[in-house]
Amino acid sequence: MDFAAWISDYGTYLESSGYAGRKIRSRLKHLNCLRAFIDARGMESPEAFCPELASDFIDYWVRHQPWAKTSKGFSRQSRFEPQHHIAIQYTLHCFFRWAHATGHLQSDIFPWRPAVRGNYFFPASSDYLRFCEQHKGLARNSLLQTELFVRRFDGFLHSGQVKKWNEMQSHHIDNFILQQADKNIKRIQRIQKVLRGLFRYLFSLGLLDRDWGSALHAPRQYRLAHVPRVISPDQVLRLLHSIDRGRRGGKRDFAMILMAASLGVRASEIASLCLEDLDWRKAVVRFKQSKNRKLLWMPLSRPLVEVLASYLKTERPQSSAQRCVFLRLNAPWEALTPSGLAGAISKRLHAAGIKGSGHRLRHSFASELLRVGVDFSTLQELLGHSHISSTQIYTKIDLVQLREVAESDAEGY
């Protein structure tokens, strides 16, 4: 086993991922000392290293490096145990996770922490989260959302002097939902779904004397009850003009916003866009639609081509091995997540003094298409809606516009 070669490969990875030279040199010093520690302990390979040895290695580092000092971990809160030398702890976690992901190590020495976080006043709360993770097979995002509301409900009951699950009353549930969701129907439905699963789990264990899950009735939400809120064309132009493309991240954000406004695609579809999805000769782009899983081909306008080309040539890291078009600004240079991309657009909207989220750009795109007379079947295809009922929400934007569109559709029959 050539541990030195591993360290060299890891240094190359850090450099290609955009880490600063100082950070790279610091981590390589830690790993070279780790190699000496493994040799001193007589370990045959890094596979023998375990989290329990982190404290011994840190002590070894402090004793054998003349410039080494213990960090301020003792005087401030840390996610690591023992709470000292956070920099070395980060080095160990990142290196061993990289070694496992690249196939150097068969086992993950420092796996990501499970979804159960913090201290729960009711032990059954953490038991239910483990049950969700191990037996229900929830996706990571669903598991995090379940963990969020279970943790909040656990703390809410404790603050209300509830010491046992059987002491819970209906007003506790109502007050918690009112506190967390107010009148937001979608959020009420989401919270009740989480609580319904929790209550049925507790009822099956005999911790509740009645099935409170069956008593939760979410308010009905009508599909066409609300009008989509849009951003006017003047506001879109003001948003684009407010972005300084000469500053760091300006070209990336300008390209993302122009793509969302001119093509009406979702944040998740922009985030998953890869370099091979861009056909420069035909001036088209291919999106993998997140809802119906179909491929959507959209035309690339000349302004959008110029903006994308400028970002790819001058701002996007050339040394990155990532194939996604839009990357993070800070190391590691990884693909933007849908939430990260939506957050970047929301920050630009807020800076321009425009209320709303990036998803309103999609509504504005649909509104403009209806205004120029595009029929609903075409709009359904462009928006990636599986059912026409999802597209019908835009009929409430303008009654005059709806009448014109209806008349144009009727002429086709």
Say which of 251, 328, 362, 363 is annotated catalytic: 362
CB burial readout 240-276, b (16+ within 10 A) else e: beebebeeebebbbbbbbbbbbbbbbbbbbbbbbeee
Give yes or no: 251 in active site. Answer: no
Structure token digits, residue 149: 């509301």
Contact 115, 144 (CB under 8 A): yes
Q: Note if 359 is an active site residue.
A: yes
DSSP string, 284-346: EEEEE-TTT--EEEEE--HHHHHHHHHHHHHTS-TT----BSSB-SSSS--BPPHHHHHHHHH
Please tell me what DSSP assigns to residue 385. Answer: -
Query: Nearest Cα to 288, choosing from 265, 311, 309?
Result: 265
Q: How many helices (H) and strands (E) does the chain have?
A: 17, 3
Among residues 117, 140, 291, 294, the one annotated as catalytic is: 291
The residue annotated as part of the active site, out of 251, 266, 316, 360, is 266
Task: Tell me whether residue 385 is one of the annotated catalytic residues.
Answer: yes
Residue (of 89, 27, 79, 81) closest to 58 by Cα position: 89
Query: Active-site residues: which are they?
Result: 266, 291, 359, 362, 385, 394
